[in-house]
């Protein structure tokens, strides 16, 4: 068996899957070829130009499976004369679920192009049962074409850290804090988190720390447009801390030192930050939607309506003020995180490859 992998180009869950799966397959002595070509560098280029060039990219004839690790792969054409099994991993269909938050090109890609890609694959892997349900109910995909393989967490990295002071000093974090990890795209619902925090910041001692590619000016604009008094706006600006991209090895320390992770997303195909936080024994407050309950089950404090700033505020106050609840969620979250690991992801992927052949 020789497998050609088309890795994702992002640093999100797709990129994390690419790194761990490639390393894991190589460790299991699976014969891999990593496909790199300008035709595969961007989603739409990959779909159209990559589909035209797929036969040439697999020209040596030794490939038995080609596996694309993000949502859109070079499978627009059937390529019936190509003796190779085609596998596509779909992480989510956010543009279909939340069309008002995405541009028309993405909506077309996911609503019109993606079903054609899936039809032309031998199997489509989804990262959660939630995404499987989305594909069957929203796009009419036959469930028999789908296989669920969850993402994982690296517990050698994401585990409780006791001595966090060096990392906290490195990032100039001097006070208690609640943590957000992600970007500032609309479906992450960061605007409502900022407003919810602003409304209660005087009631808690925790700052709000934001990790990820977040536009600071955009967040400042949310604060400026609020109805808060000027003096409170000034305080909120001081207490929302932007760390941007951080070193990967720092992340478990910042999870471990946080009072809680707050994750009010409107939709997730899987949701790695809550899983990573639970593995670090950090309580998680997260939205009650999409795949998030599948990942956290009974180990999270849930926001039923993440569009409600008062509800987000109430959940923040509850997790900050209720030590008994925090300890309970720490224990339950740590146990829940054990259900997901990259070894399982790799083993399930190898079994899937074998079943195709």
Alpha carbon of 230 to those of 172, 205, 215: distances in Å? 26, 20, 22
Q: Are residues 28 and 174 located together in one domain of the fold?
A: no
Q: Kindly state whether residue 159 falls inside one of the protein's structural domains.
A: no
Sign of CA dihedral 92, 287, 155, 165: positive
The encoded tokens of residue 282 equal: 């950090």
Entry pTM: 0.95
Q: Kindly state whether residue 121 falls inside one of the protein's structural domains.
A: yes
Q: Kindly state whether residue 158 falls inside one of the protein's structural domains.
A: no
What's the structural domain count of the chain?
2
Q: Which tens digits make up the pLDDT trace of 161-207?
A: 999 999 999 999 999 999 999 999 999 999 999 999 999 999 999 99
Long-range contacts formed by 245-250: CB under 8 A, 24+ apart:
245/212, 245/213, 246/171, 246/211, 248/157, 249/157, 250/167, 250/170, 250/171
- Enter the DSSP assignment of 110: I
Give the max Cα distance, the chain. Answer: 69
For 287-292, what is the mean pLDDT? 97
| The predicted structure's pLDDT at residue 31 | 94
> Is the pLDDT reported for residue 80 higher than 90?
no
Q: Kindly state whether residue 318 falls inside one of the protein's structural domains.
A: yes
Cα-only R_g, the chain: 21
Q: What is the dihedral of CA 85, 270, 288, 156, to 10 degrees?
A: 140
Neighbours of 322 (CB within 10 A): 14
Q: Kindly state whether residue 157 falls inside one of the protein's structural domains.
A: no
Q: Kindly state whether residue 255 falls inside one of the protein's structural domains.
A: yes
Neighbours of 193 (CB within 10 A): 29
Place of tokens 């936080």: 277
| The predicted structure's pLDDT at residue 13 | 85
Query: How far is 72 from 114, CA to CA, in rounded Å?
Result: 7
For 245-254, what is the mean pLDDT? 96
Sequence-ordered strand ranges (E) for the chain: 2-6, 31-34, 65-68, 85-90, 123-126, 146-148, 177-181, 207-211, 240-244, 260-263, 284-287, 300-303
Q: Are residues 182 and 145 located together in one domain of the fold?
A: no
Q: Are residues 345 and 240 located together in one domain of the fold?
A: no
| The predicted structure's pLDDT at residue 81 | 85
Q: Kindly state whether residue 160 falls inside one of the protein's structural domains.
A: no
Who wins on pLDDT, 9 or 8? 8
Q: Are residues 209 and 85 located together in one domain of the fold?
A: no
Q: Are residues 296 and 182 located together in one domain of the fold?
A: yes
> Is the pLDDT reported for residue 114 higher than 90?
yes
> Is the pLDDT reported for residue 98 higher than 90?
yes
Q: Are residues 244 and 346 located together in one domain of the fold?
A: no
Residue 348: pLDDT band by 50, 70, 90 thresholds? very high
Q: State CA 308 to chain mean position distance.
A: 22
Q: Are residues 325 and 346 located together in one domain of the fold?
A: no
Query: How far is 259 from 320, CA to CA, in rounded Å?
Result: 7
Q: What's 239's domain CATH number?
A: 3.40.50.2000
Q: Kindly state whether residue 191 falls inside one of the protein's structural domains.
A: yes
Q: Are residues 180 and 298 located together in one domain of the fold?
A: yes
The encoded tokens of residue 11 equal: 């640093």
Share of the chain above pLDDT 90, in %: 89
Domain ranges, residue 11: 2-152+341-356
Q: Which tens digits make up the pLDDT trace of 29-78?
A: 999 999 989 999 888 999 999 999 999 998 777 899 999 999 999 999 99
Q: Are residues 70 and 185 located together in one domain of the fold?
A: no
Q: Are residues 114 and 193 located together in one domain of the fold?
A: no
Q: Are residues 347 and 267 located together in one domain of the fold?
A: no
| The predicted structure's pLDDT at residue 226 | 84
| The predicted structure's pLDDT at residue 174 | 92
Find out whether 340 and 322 touch, Cβ atoms under 8 Å.
Answer: no
Find out whether 212 and 244 touch, Cβ atoms under 8 Å.
Answer: yes
Q: Which tens digits make up the pLDDT trace of 315-344?
A: 999 999 999 999 999 999 999 999 999 999
């Amino acid at each position: 068996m020789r497998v050609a992998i088309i890795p994702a180009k992002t640093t999100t869950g797709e990129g994390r899957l690419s790194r761990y799966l490639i390393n894991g397959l190589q460790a299991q002595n699976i014969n891999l070829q990593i496909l790199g070509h300008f035709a595969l560098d961007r989603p739409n280029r990959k779909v159209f130009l990559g589909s035209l060039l797929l036969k040439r990219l697999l020209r040596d004839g030794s490939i038995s499976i080609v596996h694309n690790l993000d949502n859109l792969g070079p499978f627009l054409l059937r390529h019936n004369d190509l003796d190779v099994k085609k596998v596509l991993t779909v992480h989510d269909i956010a543009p279909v679920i939340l069309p008002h938050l995405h541009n028309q090109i993405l909506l077309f890609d996911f609503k019109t192009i993606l079903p054609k890609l899936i039809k032309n694959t031998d199997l489509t892997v989804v990262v959660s049962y939630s995404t499987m349900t989305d594909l069957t109910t929203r796009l009419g995909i036959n469930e028999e074409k789908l296989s669920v393989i969850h993402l994982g967490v690296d517990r050698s990295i994401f585990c409780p850290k006791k001595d966090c002071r060096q990392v906290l000093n490195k990032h100039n974090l001097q006070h208690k804090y609640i943590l957000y990890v992600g970007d500032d795209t609309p479906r992450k619902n960061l605007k409502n988190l900022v407003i919810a925090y602003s409304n209660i910041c005087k009631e808690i001692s925790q700052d709000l720390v934001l990790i990820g590619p977040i536009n600071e000016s955009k967040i400042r604009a949310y604060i400026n447009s609020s109805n808060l008094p000027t003096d409170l706006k000034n305080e909120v600006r001081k207490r929302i801390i932007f760390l941007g991209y951080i070193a990967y090895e720092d992340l478990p320390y910042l999870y471990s030192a946080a009072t809680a992770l707050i994750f009010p997303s409107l939709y997730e195909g899987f949701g790695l930050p809550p899983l990573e936080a639970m593995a670090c024994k950090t309580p998680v407050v997260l939205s009650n939607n999409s795949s998030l309950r599948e990942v956290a089950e009974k180990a999270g404090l849930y926001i039923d309506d993440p569009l409600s700033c008062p509800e987000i505020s109430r959940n923040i106050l509850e997790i900050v003020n209720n030590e008994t609840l925090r300890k309970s969620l720490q224990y339950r979250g740590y146990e829940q995180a054990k259900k997901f690991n990259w070894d399982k992801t790799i083993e399930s992927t190898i079994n899937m490859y074998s079943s195709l052949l």
